[in-house]
């Protein structure tokens, strides 16, 4: 696989690990590095990277799995919409098993609701065109990597003159939660592995305010194992030297200013809003909502439904896990009441969730 396999060479991995060991050799204590993105969490577990790093480096997972940070009330609304006659729910696969307060989309599908998994939001637009008598609701969940594709789908639906395509929005943005976590006195993060493909859109420069405000090293890092190891190497070097800069390990994709065309798409269709993060709470200006001009595509406004009172499982510690304060094994429900087959918390549902990754690869 061109531009993938070269970034998985085990010999280079060994050399990078040796280099990391040399860099941290005299470091007194332990540095905590947070990987913010769910795709990093997966890569780190899948390739066993934690076990390869020296004792001076502790890698923790952050709030970067979009499915995991989506509040339960959103799932409840999606469930209510799935029960609405004439409605087709279209979604990326991960959302289907997320437990709401009393049901999930998968349970609704089993009861006869029309819930479909699509690869692209454009597939959902095509679905709306093919089913003019029905209302197609796309579940708009994700960070800046995904949100421009949803903006594109709204513009495409508009171009095709469709009045039966809607988006239920719960879009989140970076780096607002990173600032919230850095400011949390209970959590001591020494450096961030910044997300790869979110940064392709927002640009490496987007982390400069975080560095300026908190003097914390930020390294934009790719998702292949050698990318992750090189990202850790660059962060470790900054931490040991007492520096704080934005560095870009993933420069083959990420530009300092990001993808202007994708940013323009986002700005055309969406505007910033305060957003609720499961387990963290409301963070000002950390979400995106449809602009008033695109209200005809807003599922929440156009398809009113009664939504149940949100209820979270009392023992679920996803919130603490999303903030990097505890690891999955510290949660009493992990592997006992909460498993990938019967998940209680969102972190166990998504393949990118920290609990699901720990369950699958943690040994």
Partner 1 sequence: MCLAVPMMVKSIEGDNAICEIDGVRREASLMMVDDVAVGDYVLIHAGFAIEKLDQEDAEQTLALFRQVLAAGGMPE
Supply the minimum distance, in Å, between the C-beta of residue 251 and partner 1.
5
CA distance 260 to 155: 17
Which residues partner with 247 through β-bridges?
A: 219
DSSP 301-343: HHS----PPP---TT--HHHHHTTSS-GGGSTTBTTTB-SSS-
CA distance 345 to 75: 12
Supply the minimum distance, in Å, between the C-beta of residue 227 and partner 1.
8
135 or 146: whose CB is closer to partner 1? 146
**Residues 66, 172 contacting (CB under 8 angstroms):** yes
3-state secondary structure of 122: helix
Supply the minimum distance, in Å, between the C-beta of residue 346 and partner 1.
12
Supply the minimum distance, in Å, between the C-beta of residue 118 and partner 1.
9
Residues whose CB falls within 8 Å of the CB of residue 259, separated by 6 or more in sequence, listed in order: 148, 200, 201, 203
Q: By the criterion CB under 8 A, which residues form the site for partner 1?
A: 1-4, 6, 9, 11-12, 14-19, 21-23, 37-39, 64-67, 92, 94, 119-123, 141-143, 145-146, 148-149, 152, 195-198, 200-201, 223, 226, 230, 237, 249, 251-254, 259, 261-262, 265, 350, 352
Supply the minimum distance, in Å, between the C-beta of residue 86 and partner 1.
26
3-state secondary structure of 132: coil
Supply the minimum distance, in Å, between the C-beta of residue 360 and partner 1.
16
65 or 115: whose CB is closer to partner 1? 65
Residues whose CB falls within 8 Å of the CB of residue 139, separated by 6 or more in sequence, listed in order: 78, 89, 90, 91, 92, 95, 168, 170
Supply the minimum distance, in Å, between the C-beta of residue 102 and partner 1.
25
Token readout for 58 is 């502790």
265 or 283: whose CB is closer to partner 1? 265
**Residues 125, 152 contacting (CB under 8 angstroms):** no
**Residues 110, 83 contacting (CB under 8 angstroms):** no
125 or 216: whose CB is closer to partner 1? 125
């Amino acid at each position: 696989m061109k531009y993938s396999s070269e970034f998985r060479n085990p010999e280079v991995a060994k050399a990078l690990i040796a280099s990391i060991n040399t860099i941290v050799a005299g470091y007194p204590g332990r540095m905590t590095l947070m990987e913010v993105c769910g795709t990093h969490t997966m890569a780190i577990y899948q390739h066993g990277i934690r076990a390869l790093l020296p004792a001076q480096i502790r890698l923790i997972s952050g709030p970067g799995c979009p499915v995991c940070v989506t509040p339960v009330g959103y799932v409840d609304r999606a469930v209510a919409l799935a029960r609405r006659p004439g409605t087709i729910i279209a979604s990326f696969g991960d959302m289907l098993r997320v437990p709401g307060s009393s049901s999930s989309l998968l349970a609704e599908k089993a009861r006869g609701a029309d819930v479909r998994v699509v690869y692209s939001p454009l597939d959902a637009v095509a679905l709306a065109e093919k089913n003019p008598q029905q209302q197609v609701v796309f579940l708009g969940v994700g960070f800046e990597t995904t949100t421009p594709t949803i903006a594109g789908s709204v513009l495409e639906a508009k171009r095709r003159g469709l009045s039966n395509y809607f988006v239920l929005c719960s879009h989140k943005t970076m780096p607002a939660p990173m600032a919230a976590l850095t400011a949390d006195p209970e959590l001591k993060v020494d450096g961030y592995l910044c997300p790869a493909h979110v940064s392709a859109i927002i640009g490496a420069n987007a982390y400069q305010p975080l560095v300026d405000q908190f003097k914390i090293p930020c390294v934009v890092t790719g998702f292949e194992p050698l990318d992750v190891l090189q990202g850790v190497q660059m962060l470790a070097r900054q931490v040991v030297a007492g520096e704080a800069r934005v560095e870009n390990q993933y420069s083959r994709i990420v530009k300092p200013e990001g993808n202007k065309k994708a940013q323009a798409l986002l700005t055309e269709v969406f505007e910033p809003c305060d957003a609720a993060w499961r387990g963290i709470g409301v963070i000002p200006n950390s979400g995106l909502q449809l602009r008033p001009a695109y209200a005809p595509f807003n599922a929440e406004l156009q398809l009113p439904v009664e939504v149940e009172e949100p209820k979270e499982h009392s023992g679920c510690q996803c919130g603490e896990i999303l903030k990097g304060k505890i690891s999955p094994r510290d949660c009493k429900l992990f592997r006992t009441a909460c498993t990938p087959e019967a998940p209680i918390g969102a972190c166990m549902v998504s393949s990118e969730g920290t609990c699901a990754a720990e369950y699958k690869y943690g040994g």
